[in-house]
């Protein structure tokens, strides 16, 4: 016999954990703290934990891979698949993870963002396959207490960022037109930094495969100008064209962080906009156990089409960067 609606609701409630908190921050700011891989890595997990994010493709069907590092040195790898993403409103995913070497935990997670009391209510709902699985995770992993501690860390993170106006985290509706890419390298951070900042090495990976760089000019200090020339064939033709891009270095913190402006140069003549398209790029590098995670953020784009066009180009370039850096690391290991 089919369950009644009341019976179904009761059964679901027995399998759920709901953790919620209201933050004194606008919804776009809370969303950015959850959607930006670098920001997530600053607060995710209970007190004493750190988190390494190796992949975060925020779209339905995309993957989110991370490892939480406990204060006692225990690792907790997690692999998630996004099932629903509604910007500024809702993220749903399926998770498989837990203590390294233990039987994996399987749970569905829903995160919602709503306006409340002049701030934002952020709610995490965990749905386990059975009531027994829920109780096991409360007992063995401290799922409820750990969730509350995690949201307390998010609260502190948001308060710190709100007090620092120089850290631009979200800008209202335009925040949905940001590009975030995370890549992991089996190489030390200094090597990845070198590949970014050494012009000779940058020549080997800058630009998508079909438009590799032929000219790289890098600055050395804030205020210096940079410029890169790419060359390839116009799609569908045998006509060779050049794409020029450049900007100004804003911040250099070796080997942790690069910040610079980006725009298409006037010498680019393939129909790209020349005016009003300057964006800001922030690249952060984190190292854990000899591996480096790169968090790339480009903001803000006027349209989704423009953002997605840059996504394709950067993603292709970063494939080349991973190949270069890991080949360099292998050579050094010999």
Instruction: Encode pLDDT of 284-323 as tens digits.
Output: 999 988 889 899 999 888 776 677 778 888 988 998 999 9
Averaged over 24-53, what is the pLDDT? 89
List residues bridging with 56 in a β-sheet.
Answer: 64
Task: Express as a percent the part of the chain with pLDDT over 70.
Answer: 88
User: What radius of gyration do the chain's Cα atoms show?
Assistant: 22
pLDDT at 164: 58
The sign of the dihedral angle between the CA atoms of 8, 14, 17, 19 is: positive
Residue-wise pLDDT for 189-234, tens only, equals 999 999 999 999 999 999 999 899 999 999 999 999 999 999 998 7
pTM of the model: 0.62
For the chain, domains (ranges, CATH) are: 12-164 (3.30.530.20), 177-333 (3.30.530.20)
The token pair that represents 103 in the structure block: 């039987």
Averaged over 180-195, what is the pLDDT? 92
The number of CA neighbours under 13 Å toward the Cβ of 49 is 25
Q: Is the pLDDT of residue 167 over 50?
A: no
Residue-wise pLDDT for 29-43, tens only, equals 899 889 888 889 889
Tokens 């953020």 sit at which residue?
A: 297
Average per-residue pLDDT in the chain?
86
Phi, psi of 249 (to 5 degrees): -70, 135
Measure Cα distances from 325 to 70, 94, 202, 210 in Å: 29, 32, 11, 20
Cβ distance 262 to 245 under 8 Å? yes
Q: If residue 98 lies in a helix (H) or strand (E), which one and from where to where?
A: none
Distance, CA of 278 to chain centre: 21
Cβ distance 185 to 192 under 8 Å? yes
Cβ distance 301 to 190 under 8 Å? no
| CA pair distance 223, 226, nearest whole angstrom | 10
Long-range contact list for 275-278, CB < 8 A, 24+ apart? Answer: 276/302, 277/302, 277/306, 278/247
Tally of CB atoms within 10 A around 59: 9
Residue-wise pLDDT for 136-164, tens only, equals 999 989 999 999 999 999 999 998 877 75
| CA pair distance 291, 148, nearest whole angstrom | 30
């Amino acid at each position: 016999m089919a369950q009644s609606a009341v019976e179904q609701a009761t059964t679901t409630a027995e399998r759920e954990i709901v953790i919620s908190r209201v933050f004194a921050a606008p919804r776009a700011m809370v969303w950015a703290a959850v959607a930006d891989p670098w920001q997530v890595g600053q607060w995710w997990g209970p007190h004493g934990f750190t988190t390494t994010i190796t992949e975060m493709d925020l779209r339905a069907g995309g993957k989110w891979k991370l490892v939480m590092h406990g204060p006692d040195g225990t690792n907790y790898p997690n692999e998630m698949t996004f099932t629903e993403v509604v910007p500024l409103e809702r993220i749903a995913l399926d998770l498989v993870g837990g203590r390294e070497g233990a039987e994996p935990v399987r749970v569905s997670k829903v995160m919602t963002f709503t306006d409340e009391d002049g701030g934002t209510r952020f709610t995490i709902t965990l749905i386990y396959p059975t009531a027994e699985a829920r109780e096991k995770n409360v007992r063995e992993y401290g799922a409820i207490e750990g969730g509350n501690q995690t949201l307390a860390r998010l609260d502190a993170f948001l308060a710190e960022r709100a007090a620092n106006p120089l850290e631009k985290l979200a800008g209202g509706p335009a925040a949905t037109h940001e590009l975030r890419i995370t890549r992991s390298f089996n190489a030390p951070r200094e090597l990845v930094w070198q590949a970014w900042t050494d012009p000779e090495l940058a020549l080997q990976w800058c630009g998508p495969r079909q438009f590799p760089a032929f000219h790289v000019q890098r600055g050395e200090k804030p205020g210096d100008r940079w410029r890169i020339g790419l060359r390839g064939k116009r799609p569908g033709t045998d006509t060779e064209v050049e794409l020029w891009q450049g900007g100004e270095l804003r911040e250099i913190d070796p080997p942790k962080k690069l910040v610079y402006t980006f725009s298409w140069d006037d010498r680019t003549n393939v129909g790209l906009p020349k005016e009003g398209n300057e964006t800001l790029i922030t690249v952060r590098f984190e190292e854990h156990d000899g591996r480096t995670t790169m968090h790339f953020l480009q903001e803000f784009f006027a349209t989704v089409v423009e953002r997605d066009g840059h996504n394709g180009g950067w993603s292709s370039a970063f494939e080349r960067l991973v190949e270069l850096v890991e080949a360099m690391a292998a050579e050094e290991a010999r």
